[in-house]
Amino acid sequence: MIERYSTPEMRELWSEQAKFQAWLDVELAACDVWAEHDRIPPDELNTIHERARFDIARIDEIEATVHHDVIAFTTSLAENIGPASRFVHMGLTSNDVVDTANGLRLKQAGALILAELERLIEVLRAFADTHKRQVMVGRTHGIHAEPITLGLKFLVYHQEMLRNRRRLVEAFAGVSVGKISGAVGTFAHTGPDFETAVCDKLQLDHAPVSTQVLQRDRHAALICAIAVCGGGIEKIATEIRHLQRTEVRELEEPFSKGQKGSSAMPHKRNPVKCEQLTGLARLLRGHVVPALENIALWHERDISHSSTERVILPDATTLLHYMLRMTTRIVDTLHIYPDAMQRNLDHTRGLIFSQRVLLALIDSGMVREDAYDVVQSAAMKTWGDPASTLRANLQADDRFTAVMSPEALDAAMDSNAFLNYLDAIYDRASRAENP
């Protein structure tokens, strides 16, 4: 991933240095277990640990000839270790090292991502609590519907991120595994206990059964979970983008001192970070198809998955880490405009109370179809005449005034009436958060 959309932690984790170090960690763990089985003499094991070094430039030089990155790596190690290197990679196949090392790095990536997600979850809940009773208009199909609160809107996002946390925890656990089962998964040269011991040293789970590779449904599930989480981020970003439009301007992403919104128009304050998050979510979704197609490998192993995973595993984890951090910053410093929220509540001149009026008429004894006709007729007149209000058009209809008093109409058009249910909604959310 390009540096623009990377975090320092993920750049380091997915560096070539970190990759070869993870490979070395696997090789050394295997040597330690062989020594415990008396297959490597203690003095030779000490030599391996003392001299096991790699040089990336030398690995690249060797690979240019052998066209095999693991062989280039082990050859580089052998040049440094000397005769004791005969014990390195003993009984292993390339993917014993590569897949297990990927398990190590994906476990670390998961820890970074879940820590960042935890911060976003906390910020979303704090935002939802702070703005619990900030009334604004709710919209369906982009059209004013009924009142909602800003806090409730963000409580929905908070709950979605809790679900994303559960999905990601499970998905990262699924890839935080190792395998040392040999060329076709039969443990022909090591044995299952050897694999268990190596994975224990690396603090990884071991795959109960594998072929030459870990099965790629694990990695596909992770990429899908990452893409779903990215979709949740996009949902937040898209909402802020809509609410930042000039004619709405109820919310606005932070605009820092010295920031410029346009090279041509000095007045512009554009939702560029939210637009960036929207675009990056699309990129995450693009990784899903190759991840799913990697599941079906030929027989006990081919390498059609390898080329895509060199891109999608670092990129997907790096992007999500960056996106989570950026979303937390945006929500934590979001600009809020309550006056605009009130203006927009009033914009349709009472139309947002049509359902409450409908139900009040039904409660008064009017048949639902007749009540709907009364309210819709008044609503259509209100849409058509910008100088009119729903209240005035209702009160001009004899069918309405025959059953509805002005006081009852006032109660039906109270924008705060729904707030009575907020505490119950928040309590339910808390129970879902802490089942």
| Residues labelled catalytic | 141, 262
Name the token pair of 128. Answer: 């939802």
Name the nearest CA neighbour of 45 among 77, 3, 81: 81
Q: What is the CA radius of gyration of the chain?
A: 30
Q: Distance from first CA to last CA of the chain, Å, rounded? A: 37
Per the listing, tokens 């979001």 go with 334
Residue 263: what are its φ and ψ, rounded to 5°?
-75, -20
Interatomic CA distance for residues 339 and 344, integer angstroms: 9
H or E element, residue 21: helix 16-36
CA distances 434 to 151, 313, 429, 430, Å, are 19, 31, 9, 6
Q: How far is CA 379 from CA 137, 222, 360, 405, in A?
A: 17, 49, 16, 18
Q: Which residues does residue 149 pair with via DSSP β-bridges, in sequence order?
A: 135
Please state the length of the chain.
435
